[in-house]
Amino acid sequence: MAQELYDAIAKLLTEQRNPASMHMDMMSTEEILRLINAQDTLVASAVEREIPHIARAVEYIVASFKNGGRLIYFGAGTSGRLGVVDASECPPTFGTDPHLVVGVIAGGDKAMFRAQEGAEDNPALARNDVDAQHVSARDTVCGIAASRRTPYVVAAVTRARELGARTIYITTNPRSEFDLEVDVAICPEVGPEVLMGSTRMKSGTAQKLVLNMLTTTAMVKLGKIYENMMVDLQLTNAKLVERSRRIVMMATGVDYDAASRVLSEAGGHVKSAIVMIKTGAPLEEAQRRITAAGGFVRLAIGEQKPGD
């Protein structure tokens, strides 16, 4: 069994030695930094090649949201932490319910700060975690594992599929070697890491880029954006309060005092404030317009229909 595991890991692209960094231990500080930076520039193009698959994944996520479902990430180590980070950023950025996008990491919350030995190798733990989330056919479950083979992530996605959920898998190993049953596989092939096997580097960067694309694009499709501004953000700190005022000012052309006044009348709801100013409608009418427009500010103020 140990030999089989060794052979499986040894074949992974993410576990190969990178020819560009063979003499990294002999390099100067600046040479090492330039080497890492040069390798990082390869990541964006690897993600770009996966855009058709990322687009399919977004459509599944949006369908889940519209059907009362959720997006739930399952990962271990760096991959799990990235999922938790992406999920935790959605409520303040897009004003979503904290249960709409959920990040689950092998080993639980404590694994965010310190590695929990053995958690990533525990399929039973994964199945229990999926069941604890009450995954259903309305949900989309996304497994994140640079190697593809992480037992916890494989088991989580397999269990989610058994429960009828749509499934997405993000790995940085080649699509030609992907053999799991999922609805969408996203496989940005970033090549061997600068530091052999350190998938917190290029692989982690690629995963973060993909997660950014999944949730941001899904939120755009839900009407959480006006032009290129977040208009459902939550005013949970002083920075976000000021950002909200600035968004209202930029969207409508009013000054700081006017933006502050209307935002106050709107209970801090940026969308409502914009519609109130743009249409001259009182709060109740602005809210009715937003609801009728499915949350899209452009439609609520009578502009063109957002792109499909």
Q: What is the pLDDT of residue 5?
A: 59
Tokens standing for 247? 């968004």
- Edge-to-edge strands, sheet with 71-75: 101-105, 71-75, 140-144, 166-170, 184-186
Q: Please give the Cα distance from 202 to 86 (Å, whole number).
A: 17
**Residue 120 designated active-site:** yes
Residues of the chain with CATH 3.40.50.10490: 13-221
Residues of the chain with CATH 1.10.8.1080: 225-300
**Residue 285 designated active-site:** no
What does the CA dihedral 37, 39, 40, 43 come to, rounded to 10 degrees?
Answer: 160
Query: What's the pLDDT band for 14 if we cut at 50, 70, 90?
Result: confident
Q: What is the pLDDT of residue 182?
A: 98
Residue from 303, 234, 301, 236 nearest 270 by CA: 234
Q: Which residues of 21-39 are buried (b: 16+ CB within 10 A; e: fewer)?
A: beeeeeeeeeeeeebbeeb
Q: What is the pLDDT of residue 303?
A: 80
Between residues 240 and 136, the one the model is more confident about? 136
Query: What's the pLDDT band for 162 if we cut at 50, 70, 90?
Result: very high
Q: What is the pLDDT of residue 236?
A: 83
CATH number (3.20.20.150, 1.10.20.10, 3.40.640.10, 1.10.8.1080) of 225-300 reads: 1.10.8.1080
Q: What is the pLDDT of residue 234?
A: 84
**Segment among 11-25, 53-67, 73-87, 163-177 with least mean pLDDT:** 11-25
Q: Please give the Cα distance from 171 to 53 (Å, whole number).
A: 12
Q: What is the pLDDT of residue 117?
A: 74
**Per the residue annotation, which of 50, 120, 189, 193 is the catalytic one?**
120
pLDDT (average), residues 41-68: 98
Global pTM reads 0.91
Between residues 116 and 172, the one the model is more confident about? 172
Q: Are 61 and 218 contacting, i.e. CB atoms less than 8 angstroms apart?
A: yes
Query: What's the pLDDT band for 15 if we cut at 50, 70, 90?
Result: confident
**Per the residue annotation, which of 89, 177, 265, 285 is the catalytic one?**
89
Average pLDDT of the chain is 93
Q: What is the pLDDT of residues 185-228, one digit of tens each?
A: 999 999 999 999 899 999 999 999 999 999 999 999 999 999 99
**Which long-range contacts (C-beta less than 8 Å, at least 24 apart) are formed by 239-242?**
240/92, 241/268
Does residue 6 register a pLDDT over 60?
no
Query: What's the pLDDT band for 278 if we cut at 50, 70, 90?
Result: very high
CATH 3.40.50.11710 fits 13-221, yes or no: no
Q: What is the pLDDT of residue 307?
A: 60
Q: What is the pLDDT of residues 169-189, one digit of tens each?
A: 999 999 999 999 999 999 999
- The residue type of 76 is A
pLDDT (average), residues 243-267: 96
Q: What is the pLDDT of residue 4?
A: 65
Q: What is the pLDDT of residue 233?
A: 87
pLDDT (average), residues 76-87: 97
